[in-house]
Amino acid sequence: MSITSLREGQGSPARSKITILTIQEKKQRQAPITCLTAYDYATARLVDEAGIDMILVGDTLSQVVLGYESTLPVTMEEMLHHTRAVRRAVKTALVIADLPFGSYQGEAKEGVANAVPFVKEAGAEAVKLEGGDRRVDLVRRILDAEVPVMGHIGLTPQSLHKMGGYKVQGKDLTGIERLVKDAVALDRAGVFSIVLEGVPREVAAMITREVAAPTIGIGAGPECDGQVLVFHDIVNLTFAPPAKFVRSYGDAAALIRNAVSQFKADVESGGYPSDAESYHLPKETRADLEAILRRKTMKAYSR
C-alpha cells in the first residue's frame, strides 16, 4: 500500500467518490448497494467513514429528528438546512435529498424549482421523490435541469392518507401490475435508482430483474440491488416499536441514557469536574494573586 493511497492521518486506503455511475455499475456487476439515512453532521460523518455508498437525507427527518407523527409536516427549509449539514460531513458517499411533501405534487415547474436548491444551495447530488407513472413528466423535467432523480414506489409514506395507513403494497395481482408499471415508467424516464418500500419479496425480485435502474429495498426482501434503512432505527433511537424489516445493530439509547445519568450523578456528588478537568493560573499570576489576597487579609486585621 503506497503512502499516497492513504488518506492523511488515517490508516485506511482512500475511497473513490461515489457517483450515480458507481451505483449503476454496481448493479451491473451484482455488487450489493448500501444506503442509510442521515440528517446531521456527526451521524453523516460516521456513516460516510463506515463506507456506506449512499446517504439519504430522508424526509423521515420529520419523525426521527423533529418529532412529528408523519413525514408530511417537514418543510423545504428544514430539509435544506439538514442537507447542508450532511453535505459538510460527507466526503465519499453519494448524497441524496428527499423532496418534502407538497414541494412537487403540484405543477411540474414548481417541482423543478424546488428540486434545484437541493443541489445548488445545499450540495446534494440527487433528489428522491415518491410516486411512479404519474411522476414521469416531472422526473424528465428535473433530469433536464441536470439533477439526478431517485424514484420511490410501493409504500410511499407521503401518500399515507390515500393508502389508508402504512400498508404493504402489491399484495394482489392488480397491485403487482401497478407496481411493475410504475417501476418500468420510472426506469424509462431515466431515474438512476428506485426505492422499493413495503413490497412483497417476490414482487421486488421481479421488478429488480425487469428494470435497468438499481432497486434499493426497505422492507422489500433480499433480492433488491441494495438496501436502505433509517439510521435511527438501526441504533434504537426511534422510540417506537420497529417495523418487521428493521434489524437492530446497536443501542445508542442505552449508551446515551447511561452517559447522561453518570454525568448527573457526578455533578450532584461533587465528583465532576476534578482538578485535572479544571484550568489553572500560570505560576507567576498565582503567586501575584496570593500576595494581593494576603495583603488584603492583613489590612482587614489591622483595622
Selecting among 130, 146, 197, 210, the annotated active-site residue is 197
Least distance between ligand KIV and beta carbon 226 (Å): 11
- Name, in order, each residue with C-beta under 8 angstroms of 245's C-beta and a sequence gap of 6 or more: 218, 219, 220, 229
Size of the site for ligand KIV (CB under 6 A): 11
Rounded (10°) angle between helices 76-89 and 108-120:
30
Asked whether 23 and 33 are in contact (CB, 8 A), the reply is yes
- Name, in order, each residue with C-beta under 8 angstroms of 189's C-beta and a sequence gap of 6 or more: 135, 136, 139, 140, 143, 149
Catalytic residue flag (residue 110):
no
Taking CB positions, which residue lies at the least distance from ligand KIV? 58
What is d(CA 45, CA 113) in angstroms, rounded to the nearest whole number? Answer: 29
Using CB under 6 A, which of the segments 56-64, 133-141, 161-169, 235-243 binds ligand KIV?
A: 56-64
What is d(CA 38, CA 27) in angstroms, rounded to the nearest whole number? Answer: 23
37 near ligand KIV (CB under 6 A): yes
Looking at the Cβ atoms of 26 and 232, the one nearer to ligand KIV is 232
Asked whether 254 and 236 are in contact (CB, 8 A), the reply is yes
Looking at the Cβ atoms of 14 and 80, the one nearer to ligand KIV is 80
153 near ligand KIV (CB under 6 A): no
Which of 58, 151, 154, 226 touches ligand KIV (CB under 6 A)? 58
Residues 73-102 that bind ligand KIV (CB under 6 A): 98
What is d(CA 54, CA 209) in angstroms, rounded to the nearest whole number? Answer: 21
Residues 244-283 that bind ligand KIV (CB under 6 A): none
What is d(CA 267, CA 113) in angstroms, rounded to the nearest whole number? Answer: 51
What is d(CA 58, CA 26) in angstroms, rounded to the nearest whole number? Answer: 22
What is d(CA 186, CA 256) in angstroms, rounded to the nearest whole number? Answer: 42
Looking at the Cβ atoms of 61 and 173, the one nearer to ligand KIV is 61
Residues 99-128 that bind ligand KIV (CB under 6 A): none
Least distance between ligand KIV and beta carbon 127 (Å): 12
151 near ligand KIV (CB under 6 A): no
Which of 34, 43, 60, 83 touches ligand KIV (CB under 6 A)? 60
Residues with catalytic function: 197
Binding site for ligand KIV (CB under 6 A): 37, 56, 58-60, 98, 195, 197, 218, 228, 230
